[in-house]
């Protein structure tokens, strides 16, 4: 699970209230401003630690403070500071270059990963299915499959429903924990078991993950497991 800060870093459309994070003082020079704040770093780190505590109690923070000594350095400082509040969580850190390689080579060595707004989630999405949940400090969150849609295969019954179902499951889990609603947490837990059952059935599982089924059969298997 990758947790990232979605409002900061290099994205010029997000890191400024007014103006733009990119500018060209001359025809031959372009500058980009990277924004990192202590508040944003601490907030995303704390979210990741809470998730790690609910899962396998293992968190990895990704950075490049060997080069970006001030910006990544601030992110690392906040990760270390927040870590003191979670002595039950095992913490390690990896330089971003190395992580990009290890994510492809041995992704099973990670569980919860926290980083600044980076391309690592795009890389991870290429390894399989990618649900997503965007949350902030308020009462609003947005759940959706990550990194676009596939209109070219609409209506063909071959789109993998995993990311949409898992996004809904993440939303139920967030609603249950943020609002202290045990029923919503139970729904999320039931959806985990239902999806696991569907993925374990080759006849129900969709073709892009080595199954002989389609979108309808996989969705049906999840619903039947939930009803059971």
| Band of residue 147 on the pLDDT scale cut at 50, 70, 90 | low
Q: Can you tell me the distance from the alpha carbon of 48 to that of 60, in angstroms, rounded to the nearest whole number?
A: 9
Inter-residue contact 61 to 114 (CB < 8 Å): yes
Inter-residue contact 162 to 129 (CB < 8 Å): yes
3-state secondary structure of 18: coil
Q: Can you tell me the distance from the alpha carbon of 15 to that of 36, in angstroms, rounded to the nearest whole number?
A: 9
* pLDDT value of residue 148: 64
pLDDT digits (tens, 9 = 90+) for 81-113: 999 999 999 999 999 999 999 998 999 999 999
Percent of the chain that is helix, strand, coil (3-state, to 5): 45, 20, 35
* pLDDT value of residue 17: 78
Residue with tokens 């045990």: 182
Summarize the confidence of residues 201-222 as an average pLDDT.
93
Q: Please say if the pLDDT value at position 58 is more than 90.
A: yes
Among 158, 145, 149, CA closest to 218: 158
Q: Please say if the pLDDT value at position 197 is more than 90.
A: yes
* pLDDT value of residue 208: 86
- Partnered with residue 133 across adjacent β-strands are 143
Q: Can you tell me the distance from the alpha carbon of 162 to that of 219, in angstroms, rounded to the nearest whole number?
A: 9
| Band of residue 153 on the pLDDT scale cut at 50, 70, 90 | confident
Q: Can you tell me the distance from the alpha carbon of 179 to that of 103, in angstroms, rounded to the nearest whole number?
A: 34
* pLDDT value of residue 228: 86
- Within 10 Å of residue 160's Cβ, how many Cβ atoms? 20
Q: Please say if the pLDDT value at position 38 is more than 90.
A: yes
């Amino acid at each position: 699970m990758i947790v990232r800060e979605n409002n900061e870093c290099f994205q010029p459309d997000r890191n400024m209230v007014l103006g733009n994070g990119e500018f060209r003082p001359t025809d031959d020079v372009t500058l980009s401003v990277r924004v990192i704040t202590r508040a944003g770093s601490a907030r995303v780190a704390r979210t990741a630690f809470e998730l790690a505590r609910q899962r396998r109690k293992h968190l990895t923070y990704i950075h490049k403070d060997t080069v970006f000594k001030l910006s990544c350095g601030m992110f690392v400082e906040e990760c270390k500071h927040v870590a003191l509040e979670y002595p039950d969580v095992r913490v390690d850190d990896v330089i971003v270059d190395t992580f990009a390689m290890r994510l492809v080579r041995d992704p099973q060595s990670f569980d919860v990963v926290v980083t600044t707004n980076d391309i690592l989630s795009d890389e991870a999405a290429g390894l399989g299915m990618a649900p997503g949940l965007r949350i902030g400090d308020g009462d609003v969150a947005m759940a959706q499959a990550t990194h676009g849609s596939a209109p070219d295969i609409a209506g063909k019954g071959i789109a993998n429903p995993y990311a949409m179902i898992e996004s809904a499951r993440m939303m139920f889990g967030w609603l249950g924990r943020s609002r202290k609603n045990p029923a919503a947490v139970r729904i999320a837990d039931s959806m985990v078991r239902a999806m696991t059952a569907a993925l374990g059935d080759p006849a129900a599982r969709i073709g892009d993950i080595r199954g002989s089924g389609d979108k309808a059969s996989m969705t049906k298997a999840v619903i039947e497991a939930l009803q059971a």
